[in-house]
Amino acid sequence: MEKTFGYLADGGEARLYTIENGRLLAQITDYGASLVTLRVDGTDVCLGCDDVSGYERNGAYLGAVVGRNANRMSGASFMLNGEKVQLPANEGKNNLHSGPDSWGWRLWQVKAHTENSLTLGIFSPDGDQGFPGNAEFSVTYTIENDGLTIRYRGVSDKDTVFNVTNHAYFNLFGQDKPERAMDQELMVPAEFFCPDDAANIPTGEVRAVEGTPFDFRSFKAIGRDIGMDYEPLILQGGYDHNFVNKGEVCAVMRNPENGLTMTVTTDLPGVQVYAGNFLENQGKGGVYYGKRAGVALETQHFPDSVNHPEWVQPFVKAGQVWESTTRYAFA
């Protein structure tokens, strides 16, 4: 099923597409290839807006596919094949989510739509956002059995960067209960995380979670330790940090009252746990999303990994197909 999702300021029309399998229903708009709705047993657990105008006005990347490079990059630049690649700075002197013209704020093209799957594509020309190479990129949302799978695929005719994520915010109590978001319980198997400096750029340290508020190896409420007097929490205003994935399962979040559980799996080396510290957005159905109204679990290469050769690199060679899969499974 598809329907109009409203009109952009420039007059372009956005569409809303539905995929489902009975227990699960997802709605995705071609604006930003954004996940708008994710209903599990009738409860909408994904933050979003009622129409595309809400997405044009918000800066929170609600449900958006972010590329070519997600998260932050120091100095808005990196070296590739001995040459400096300069991107626009849009967070101080640094680059966030590839700059002011992120893929999350563009209309994508629908390539295929079935009852339980949707594929959208985007063409990113050479020099787009500052990145080298003409890039063809696609994302496929598929509802399979007990979960939603997101498959990414990209190829460029020049060496470039692919580090793409989905920026959905989740609240397993329901998107209409923002006051309960910090009561969600989170388990992250990671033994290490990446502290950031005051500009939200990783310092380069990979710190053990043991003995810190970042130890989520056993379930705990996300809000339990978020206000502790601990420098990484103070600098970022709460959780907004990369965790070093230990295996395929990078995070498990649950509603402790009804037991609804979401398990996140990925083939990428990191996951950004962002507790929505700066959310200020009008949401669906008249709901206002204030500070910490939802939690994003962004599968990714480490932030600023392009400038840290000791970390897994997001560079791809010309003609090399980049693929990645993230899955949200519900029990």
Q: Does residue 206 carry a pLDDT above 90?
A: yes
* Two structure tokens written together for 194: 């990446």
Q: Assign 116 a pLDDT band (cuts: 50, 70, 90).
A: very high
Domain assignment present for residue 158? The answer is: yes
Domain assignment present for residue 237? The answer is: no
Domain assignment present for residue 212? The answer is: no
The per-residue pLDDT for 249 is: 98
Domain assignment present for residue 29? The answer is: yes
Q: Does residue 73 carry a pLDDT above 90?
A: yes
Q: Say how many domains are in the chain.
A: 1
Q: Does residue 134 carry a pLDDT above 90?
A: yes
Q: Which residues neighbour 177 within 8 Å (Cβ) at sequence distance 6 or greater?
A: 171
Domain assignment present for residue 136? The answer is: yes
**Catalytic, out of 97, 241, 298, 301:** 298
Range of the domain at 119: 2-177+273-330
Q: Of 315, 300, 29, nearest to 154 (Cα)?
A: 315
- Distance, CA of 27 to CA of 14 (rounded, Å): 13
Average pLDDT over residues 237-250: 97
Q: Does residue 59 carry a pLDDT above 90?
A: no
Average pLDDT over residues 198-205: 97
Q: Is 113 a catalytic residue?
A: no
Tens digits of residue pLDDT in 269-279: 999 999 999 99
Q: Is the dihedral of CA 33, 254, 172, 145 positive or negative?
A: positive
Domain assignment present for residue 10? The answer is: yes
Threshold 0.85, pTM exceeds = yes
The per-residue pLDDT for 127 is: 98
Place of tokens 């502290």: 195
CATH number of the domain at 144, please. Answer: 2.70.98.10
Q: Does residue 234 carry a pLDDT above 90?
A: yes
Q: Assign 166 a pLDDT band (cuts: 50, 70, 90).
A: very high
Over the chain, what is the mean pLDDT?
Answer: 97
Domain assignment present for residue 262? The answer is: no
Average pLDDT over residues 145-174: 98
Residue 135 amino acid letter: A
Share of the chain above pLDDT 90, in %: 98
SS3 204: coil
The per-residue pLDDT for 58 is: 81
Q: Does residue 330 carry a pLDDT above 90?
A: yes
Average pLDDT over residues 48-58: 93
Q: Which residues neighbour 267 within 8 Å (Cβ) at sequence distance 6 or greater?
A: 248, 324, 325
- Distance, CA of 24 to CA of 42 (rounded, Å): 8
Domain assignment present for residue 206? The answer is: no
> Which is more confident, 111 or 22?
111
Average pLDDT over residues 176-184: 98
Q: Assign 184 a pLDDT band (cuts: 50, 70, 90).
A: very high
Share of the chain above pLDDT 70, in %: 100
**Catalytic, out of 97, 167, 241, 301:** 167
Tens digits of residue pLDDT in 293-328: 999 999 999 999 999 999 999 999 999 999 999 999
Q: Does residue 57 carry a pLDDT above 90?
A: no
Q: Does residue 182 carry a pLDDT above 90?
A: yes
SS3 129: helix
Average pLDDT over residues 12-33: 97
The per-residue pLDDT for 233 is: 98
The per-residue pLDDT for 189 is: 98
Q: Is 167 a catalytic residue?
A: yes
